[in-house]
Amino acid sequence: MNNNQRSIQGTKIIISLIGIIFAVLHTKQILYFDTQGLILVTIAFLPWLTGILSKAELPGGWKLEFIQQIQEEQVRQKYEIGQLKFLIEGFVTDNELNILKKLNLSEPFLVKVDHTSVFFSNELDRLRKLGLVSNPEGKGRATLLINDGKKREVKEHFYITEKGKSYLNFRDSA
């Protein structure tokens, strides 16, 4: 428990003790048990109800809102969303992302074997292992990356899967 949580816990205990003392004095006829007595007892237990209630309305038009827990939950969710965004953005490399985007477009995606083809081959293989791209029967890296000086259409050898399209949508909305 950090210092802030200890301070909040201590404040709750003090408020409850004060409310209980007033309630006891009220029942001993030192204080009269009327609307004020009921309010004191209610106030004694309000700090403990913040996990259940977000708002309380007391007699006489008094309203209390427990926004601290809502704010703590929002901070926790913001942190978790940040973690998910980090994971989504880091799931594939920039080069792999470019391959996915090009496979998702209607425009041609031509490649020619050169000194970077081994990297391109590894990227395609990783995307296939992740299930983001696939290849038609009889097609793949071996039929795409032939070193004969000709350009080839990647989309004849590989296509983006529904999972790959979903990933691009997540990535765009992150």
CATH of the domain at 130: 1.10.10
Say if residue 53's pLDDT is above 60: no
Arithmetic mean of pLDDT, 88-106: 92
pLDDT at 17: 79
Whole-angstrom CA distances from 57 to 22, 29, 64, 67, 68 are 20, 27, 6, 14, 17
CB 121 within 8 Å of CB 141? yes
Mean pLDDT across the chain: 82
Whether residue 42 is found in the same domain as residue 108:
no
Per the domain annotation, does 37 fall within a domain? yes
pLDDT at 98: 95
Whether residue 166 is found in the same domain as residue 121:
yes
**23 or 115, which is more confident:** 115
Share above pLDDT 70 across residues of the chain, in percent, rounded to a whole number: 73
pLDDT at 97: 95
Per the domain annotation, does 84 fall within a domain? no
Q: Which two tokens stand for residue 19?
A: 């409310």
Q: Which two tokens stand for residue 50?
A: 């913040």
Q: Which of 36, 70, 41, 37 is nearest to 53 (CA)?
A: 70
Whether residue 59 is found in the same domain as residue 117:
no
Say if residue 135's pLDDT is above 70: yes
Q: How far apart are CA 161 and CA 167, in angstroms?
A: 10
Residue with tokens 């940040």: 82
Q: Label residue 149 by pLDDT band (50, 70, 90).
A: confident
**Overall domain count for the chain:** 2
Per the domain annotation, does 76 fall within a domain? no
Q: For residue 63, which phi and psi values (nearest 5 degrees)?
A: -125, 135
Per the domain annotation, does 79 fall within a domain? no
CB 47 within 8 Å of CB 37? no
Arithmetic mean of pLDDT, 20-40: 68
Domain of 99 in residue numbering reads as 94-173
Whether residue 168 is found in the same domain as residue 104:
yes
Q: Label residue 45 by pLDDT band (50, 70, 90).
A: low
